[in-house]
């Protein structure tokens, strides 16, 4: 029954995120918000909404290892499995701004998390924690990132002033409001079902919460990014995929982890330090791959990223 409810939770979660993005995007267009800002804010939040819902629900329930495992696991899946599969289907073109700004920002976010959680090593504490103060630090960095993307959006809009949104459908946005409310409800309900039943599965199978967070929950909440990236690759528009995935990683690391720790200080298994180190290493590998082959990640590099994830998955299952 727990497995069935977990699957139902994932379906409700992902469909809720889809409805939320659709409704909020339509509302933004109705109020003449530039499309590029919609993409960089509302859509970015929507694709990361499952991670946010699950991690925040887990933090409220005291399942700190699911919170950390979900965020770190989702980021690892994004930069290894999803980017790898996308590049294997069709070589992944990388925009210059992604190399110069977005990947370094994702790398910086991962390093900040490593520093903040290494209490045993850096401060000789008995346990590693992410305190409310640490959460506020992450949210502070996220506000800087948000300022950056809005500034980029406005600059782009100034360069293309004739963006005029076509309001052929200026009717009252009742349908959009309904979609937004239903979507947000689905995200919250789905997040609760996923956390609740992940805990039960972990206990029944003798799995640790950290392993459940890094595997079952992380894979489930990364499905929107996976579907979006693979669809873009099949349409040969894969240059869009990398920016969205890196943006999602930044959002997960700075906002989702920041808000979760601010709600409730997180105490977690110190083994996850290894996973954070791998996240940093993979981000560096991604940066190297992005600067070669005329700013393209080719099929061989994509396959190597997929293989890294398979080896990592095997390692954490054995480690449990």
Domain ranges of the chain: 2-319
Calpha distance 200→210 (Å, rounded)? 13
pLDDT for 238: 59
SS3 for the chain, per residue?
CHHHHHHHHHHHHHHHHHHHHHHHHHHHHHCCCCHHHHHHHHHHHHHHHHHHHHHHHHHHHCCHHHHHHHHHHHHHHHHHHHHHHHHHHCCEECCHHHHHHHHHHHHHHHHHHHHHHCHHHHHCCCCCEECHHHHHHHHHHHHHHHHHHHHHHHHHHHHCCCCCCCCCCCCCCHHHHHHHHHHHHHHHHHHHHHHHHHHHHHHHHCCCHHHHHHHHHHHHHCHHHHHHHHHHHHCCCCHHHHHHHHHHHHHHHHHHHHHHHHHCCEECCCCHHHHHHHHHHHHHHHHHHHCCCCCEECHHHHHHHHHHHHHHHHHHHHHC
HSE-CB of 237 using CA atoms within 13 angstroms: 7
pLDDT string in tens for the chain (320-residue length): 788 888 898 888 778 877 876 777 677 667 666 555 555 566 666 667 778 888 888 888 888 888 898 899 999 999 999 999 988 988 888 878 778 888 999 999 999 999 999 998 888 888 889 999 999 999 999 999 888 877 776 675 555 544 444 444 445 678 888 888 888 788 778 877 887 787 788 778 788 888 888 888 888 778 777 776 776 677 666 556 677 788 889 989 999 999 999 999 998 888 899 999 999 999 999 999 988 877 789 999 999 999 999 999 999 989 87
Question: Which residues, other chains included, contact 205 with Cβ-Cβ below 8 Å and sequence gap of 6+?
Answer: none
For residues 20 and 49, the answer to whether their CB atoms sit within 8 Å is yes
| pLDDT in the model for residue 307 | 96
Scan for tokens 């054995």, then name that residue: 318
Alpha carbon of residue 270 to chain centroid: 22
Q: What is the pLDDT of residue 41?
A: 62
For domain 2-319, is the CATH number 1.20.1420.30? Answer: yes
Please name which of 213, 204, 254 lies closest in space to residue 76, comparing C-alpha atoms: 213
Cross-strand partners of 297? 92
What distance in Å separates the CA atoms of residue 250 and residue 248, rounded to the nearest whole number? Answer: 5
**CA–CA gap between residue 212 and residue 41 (Å, rounded):** 29
The model's pTM is 0.81
């Amino acid at each position: 029954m727990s497995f069935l409810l977990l699957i139902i939770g994932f379906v409700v979660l992902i469909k809720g995120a889809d409805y939320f993005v659709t409704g909020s995007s339509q509302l933004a267009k109705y109020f003449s918000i530039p499309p590029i800002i919609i993409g960089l804010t509302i859509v970015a939040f929507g694709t990361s909404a499952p991670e946010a819902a699950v991690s925040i629900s887990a933090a409220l329930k005291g399942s700190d290892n699911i919170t950390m495992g979900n965020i770190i696991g989702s980021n690892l899946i994004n930069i290894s499995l999803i980017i790898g599969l996308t590049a294997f289907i069709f070589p992944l073109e990388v925009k210059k701004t992604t190399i110069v700004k977005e990947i370094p920002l994702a790398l910086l976010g991962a390093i900040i998390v490593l520093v903040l959680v290494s209490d045993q090593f850096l401060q000789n504490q008995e346990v590693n924690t992410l305190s409310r103060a640490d959460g506020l630090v992450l949210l502070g960095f996220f506000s800087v990132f948000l300022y950056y993307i809005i500034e980029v959006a406005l600059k782009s809009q100034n360069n293309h002033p004739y963006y005029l949104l076509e309001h052929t459908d200026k009717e009252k946005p009742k349908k959009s409001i309904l979609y937004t409310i239903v979507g947000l409800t689905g995200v919250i309900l789905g997040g609760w079902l996923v956390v609740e039943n992940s805990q039960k599965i972990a206990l029944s199978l003798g799995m640790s919460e950290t392993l459940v967070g890094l595997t079952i929950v992380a894979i489930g909440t990364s499905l929107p990014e996976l579907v979006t990236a693979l669809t873009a690759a099949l349409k040969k528009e894969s240059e869009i995929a990398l920016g969205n995935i890196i943006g999602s990683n930044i959002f997960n690391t700075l906002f989702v982890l920041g808000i979760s720790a601010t709600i409730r200080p997180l105490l977690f298994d110190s083994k996850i330090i290894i996973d954070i180190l791998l996240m940093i290493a993979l981000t560096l590998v991604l940066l190297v791959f992005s600067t070669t082959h005329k700013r393209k990640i080719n099929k061989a590099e994509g396959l190597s990223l997929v293989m890294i994830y398979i080896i990592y998955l095997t390692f954490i299952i054995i480690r449990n």
